[in-house]
Amino acid sequence: MEEKRLLYSKEVIDRRVKALAGAISLDLEGREVVLIGVLKGAFIFLADLARHLKIPHTVDFVRLASYGSGSVSSGNITFSKDIETDIEGKDVVIVEDIIDTGTSIAFLQKKLEERHPASIKICALIDKKQRREKTVNADYVGFALSEGFIVGYGLDFDEKFRCLPEIYVIKEGNCDHSV
Ligand code: IMP
Ligand code: MG
């Protein structure tokens, strides 16, 4: 049996997502806002965040590919799916499930900056700091976590568990994929 421990309940997640949406709505009122979700992990978080926003906005997605295997991002990242929106002059909010080493988000931020948006903000459901390699300043963070591998609410382990309504911590390498 794999060990899976409840970390954040549905209610706790919902409360944080509403608070993040409230803060974004206040900060970016009157602006031309584009939410950019990072696939696949952010799809559920973005869906809930977008529905709690009180300001008009559009939605787009990127998917990043990182060469190399293992559970830590390698430095070599490319877009496997780019956005389709012209973000020049617009206020971008990157919506990410979890920041770990920071490699993915640092790459994405740099690439989007080259397209001259008015601003880029980072909204991460979870900021996991222990393995951080790149300096990343997230503007909106749902939960700060020091360590652990987590699943649920969009987050996967080997493509499993994304649709769990809650977030669980699992022991890496000790998981039989049962829910
Ligand atoms: P980074 O480039 O190291 O910051 O990688 C971030 C990406 O790694 C996230 O978008 C997730 O897809 C994945 N990741 C990092 N930690 C976890 C975790 O605890 N659970 C599930 N996915 C994770
Ligand atoms: Mg991700």
Q: How many CB atoms lie within 10 A of CB 177?
A: 11
Residue 100 Cα to ligand 1 midpoint, Å, equals: 5
What is the predicted pLDDT for the residue at 177? 40
Examine the residue annotation and report whether 82 is marked as an active-site residue of this protein: no
pLDDT band of 179, cuts 50, 70, 90: very low
Q: What is the pLDDT of residue 171?
A: 74
Burial code of 131-153, b = ≥16 C-beta within 10 A, e = fewer?
A: eeebebebbbbbbebeeebbbbb
Q: How far apart are CA 108 and CA 121, in angstroms?
A: 12
pLDDT (mean) for 144-172? 94
| CATH 3.40.50.2020 at 10-147, yes or no | yes
Give the pLDDT of residue 10. Answer: 98
Q: Which atom of ligand 1 is nearest to the CA of 77?
A: 2
Is residue 71 predicted with pLDDT exceeding 60? Answer: no
Please indicate whether residue 155, judged by its CB atom, sits closer than 6 Å to ligand 1: yes
Annotated catalytic residue within 27, 100, 158, 176? 100
Report which bound ligand comes closest to the CA of 101: 1
Which pLDDT band holds residue 73 (cuts at 50, 70, 90)?
low
Residue 149 in contact with ligand 1 by CB distance below 6 A = yes
CB 154 within 8 A of CB 45: yes
For 31, other C-beta atoms within 10 Å of its C-beta total 15
Model confidence, pTM: 0.92
CB 110 within 8 Å of CB 135: no
Domain ranges of the chain: 10-147
